[in-house]
Chains A and B, each alone.
Chain A
Amino acid sequence: QQQVKQSPQSLIVQKGGISIINCAYENTAFDYFPWYQQFPGKGPALLIAIRPDVSEKKEGRFTISFNKSAKQFSLHIMDSQPGDSATYFCAASSYGNKLVFGAGTILRVKS
């Protein structure tokens, strides 16, 4: 019940295209859903986060869509750029406690 399932494992997108990464969870106590971006040899960087009281949040080219009834959330990267090539992790937590991470998606944006 503590798992967060992330898909796809890897993704190749053309420059200018839309990258979509999906996550699903079981624990209805989760109340905070962040996305992190990680480059090789670096720590994860917080990209964007959402709470269950809203269905969508947009920051620049990054959008989180949240479906509470389906217990799913997704990250959309609009106008994907080669510099977006990285590993993306979804995560979830309840009441500010430990983050439970998905397995990660390796994104490659082809120029």
Chain B
Amino acid sequence: NAGVMQNPRHLVRRRGQEARLRCSPMKGHSHVYWYRQLPEEGLKFMVYLQKENIIDESGMPKERFSAEFPKEGPSILRIQQVVRGDSAAYFCASSPTRDEQFFGPGTRLTVL
């Protein structure tokens, strides 16, 4: 049973470009969470999704950030017009039951 998969593992973007981060949850998991970890800091919640629905987006910045979890395919975190402050590790977690959350290896975004 494969774990949570995220790609790409590393992503470099120039200021103003778009970043698309993908997350494939563990088999049988319908709950997906995105977290951001800034250098030398803890993890901060961004958004919680179930298939085709956003359940809680209270941690998402109001502009430039969006997330989806379509009926088919991976969950996508999209950052438009990236700025240097977006440089961070972005982690996806999945859960079968809304309790235990299993994290992927993360995508490390660097904005030049």
Size bracket of the B interface: 20 to 34
User: How far does the alpha carbon of A104 sit from the alpha carbon of B98 in the complex, in Å?
Assistant: 23
B45 interface residue (CB < 8 Å to A): yes
Assess A43 versus B105: contact at CB under 8 Å? Given A96-B95, A99-B33.
Answer: yes
Are B97 and A43 in contact, with the CB atoms below 8 A?
no
Assess A98 versus B103: contact at CB under 8 Å? Given A103-B41, A103-B42, A104-B42.
Answer: no
Report the minimum CB–CB distance from A68 to chain B (whole Å): 18
B69 interface residue (CB < 8 Å to A): no
Q: With a CB–CB cut-off of 8 A, which chain A residues contact B35?
A: 99, 101
Are A44 and B91 in contact, with the CB atoms below 8 A?
yes
Are B100 and A98 in contact, with the CB atoms below 8 A?
no
Most buried by B among A43, A45, A89: A43
B12 interface residue (CB < 8 Å to A): no
A46 interface residue (CB < 8 Å to B): yes
Residues of A41-91 at the interface with B, using a CB-CB cut-off of 8 Å, are: 42-46, 49, 89
Are B103 and A97 in contact, with the CB atoms below 8 A?
no
User: How far does the alpha carbon of A96 sit from the alpha carbon of B48 in the complex, in Å?
Assistant: 10
Interface residues of A (CB under 8 A from B): 32, 34, 36, 42-46, 49, 89, 93, 95-104
With A46-B100, A99-B45, A100-B45 known, 4 other A-B pairs at CB within 8 A are A34-B101, A42-B106, A96-B31, A96-B95
